[in-house]
A and B are shown apart, each in its own frame.
Chain A
Amino acid sequence: MTAPFGARLDDVVVRFGRQRRVTSDGGTYRADASAALDGASLTIRPGTITGVLGRNGAGKTTMLSLLAAYRRPTAGTLAVGAGDDPAAWEDPWENPWVTSNVQLVSEGGGVQDDEKLRETLKYYADLRPFWDADTAERLLETFEISTRKKPNALSRGKRSAVGAVLGLASRAPLTIFDEVYLGMDAPTRYAFYDEILADYAAHPRTILLSSHLVEEVERLFEDVVVLDRGRVLLAESAEEMAARGFSLTGPTTAVERLAGDRRILHRQQLGGTVQVTLEGAPDDGTRAAAREAGVEVGHLPLQDLFVRLTDPAARAGHPDGAGR
């Protein structure tokens, strides 16, 4: 098997072409569409499960389709390839070696609707050098999907499960799941997460997973990328990201003394008790002082941090928010 793939974006811009729009009185005019990616730079570490987070329209799908060479950037450079040295990676566009080793599973996509599923599976078996037919077979059984059916006869959740099967069975050195959980019920989603972990452990590769269900998936991630309005807000390890904030809960005066001059991301008053969310990680001194003052130190779920970081009101003041 080829080594896991890494990927790198340097100042990538994707602008969709000019559009003809209709005015209220029936006339038309041409307007520039806004940029889906607006100077995005980041490196995806080979061999990681990396979470791709962002609000609607942040540019997640655009970025993921660039990596699979579904589209080209308007400006900037893009490199995908094996090994730890980004200098050896290649432009994915019209690059058979890269594209055969990158599997993008889009939301509900990747299947031929009007042909039996069996045909879609044959197509991927030919396309993907590391395709594992036994895994596909087993997973279809797990998700209770018949290969005799046509995808357009399947429910939304089952179609998503087909996408999950295609991604996992592809064993591609870069496997991308773009909101593949849509329509899946909770037991199916958890089965999907379990299969990702088991397959990744047995066949190490790079997996990108975009999801809005942050709480469900945060522990799967080794690295996390947060996109916001076409830019990279953060790209770091899940551990580093978790260390970006914590909470203190307790008597108002004690909490305020402990908070000192740290930046307060959020504050909630409940009578004489206050809970504040602070930027940064608690040091040993703070922990000890909190214990003595009867203040509880809490961990900040990735979900909360994500909401705070991408909150329009907080964006302006955030040091990492303005640049890239």
Chain B
Amino acid sequence: MFDGPEPLYVQIGQMIRSQVLAGELGEDEQVMSTTQFATTFRINPATAAKAFSGLVDEGVLYKRRGLGMFVAPGARARLLEHDRQAYFDEVLAPALAQAKVLGITTDEIVTHIRHQHTTSEES
């Protein structure tokens, strides 16, 4: 857990965001407290707090005084929109660049994707 190249608090943010995106954390659902988070993942509470306050600033979470942190209404839709944008730059662009190096043509890629989609839709 959390062994990526980014700082730990960034990785914690990514984990919560992907849970919201996947619908594992619903809107207005309470997330773990910083203390629970710190003891569960064995990390410094200040690191967890930094991740959570970043998510509050982004509008993914909101704070209820004395109760804790909750998933903000509309958070999933906003994350979806953001990540769809990022998908083309960060996921597809390197894959296409690699295809170019390997001499795979656009037609081949399109045919492959069409084929994949039909099979996955059939199953």
Contact = CB atoms under 8 A, between A and B. Distances in A.
Interface stretch (B2-10, B21-29, B52-60): B2-10
Interface of A is mostly: helix
Contacts of A193: 42
Interface stretch (A158-166, A167-175, A289-297): A289-297
Interface stretch (B62-70, B71-79, B90-98, B105-113): B90-98
Contacts of A221: 44
A64 to B, nearest CB: 20
B13 interface: no
B90 to A, nearest CB: 7
Contact of B94 (A219, A282, A292, A297): A292
B52 to A, nearest CB: 13
A48 interface: yes
Interface string B37-57: 011011111110000000000
A298 B3 CA distance: 9
B35 interface: yes
B42 A201 contact: no
A198 B3 contact: no
Contacts, number: 59
Interface in A203-249: 219-222, 238-239, 242-243, 246
Contacts of B34: 201
A294 B98 contact: yes
A12 B54 CA distance: 39
Interface residues of B, number: 24
Contacts of A220: 42-44
A48 B42 contact: no
A26 B15 CA distance: 68
Contacts of A263: none
B104 to A, nearest CB: 15
Contacts of B45: 197, 200-201
Contacts of A239: 7-9, 47
Most buried by B among A200, A201, A220, A243: A201
Given A197-B42, A201-B39, A219 B47 contact: yes
B5 A297 contact: yes
B5 A246 contact: yes
Nearest to A199: B39
Nearest to B4: A299
B3 A197 contact: no
A219 B44 contact: yes
Contacts of A202: 35
B44 A198 contact: no
Interface string A46-76: 0011000000000000000000000000000
Contacts of B93: 292
A119 interface: no
Contacts of A282: 5
A291 B38 CA distance: 31
Contacts of A246: 5
Contacts of A291: 90, 94
B90 A219 contact: no
A194 interface: yes
Contacts of B38: 197, 201
21 contacts: A49-B44, A193-B42, A194-B42, A197-B38, A197-B45, A198-B35, A198-B39, A200-B45, A201-B34, A220-B42, A220-B43, A222-B47, A238-B47, A242-B7, A243-B7, A246-B5, A291-B90, A292-B94, A292-B97, A294-B94, A299-B5
Given A193-B42, A201-B45, A297-B5, 18 more contacts: A48-B46, A49-B44, A194-B39, A197-B38, A197-B43, A197-B44, A200-B45, A220-B43, A222-B44, A238-B44, A239-B7, A291-B90, A292-B94, A294-B94, A298-B5, A299-B3, A299-B5, A299-B6
Q: Give 9 closest A-B pairs by Cβ, nearest first.
A: A201-B35, A299-B5, A219-B43, A222-B46, A297-B5, A222-B44, A201-B45, A197-B39, A291-B94
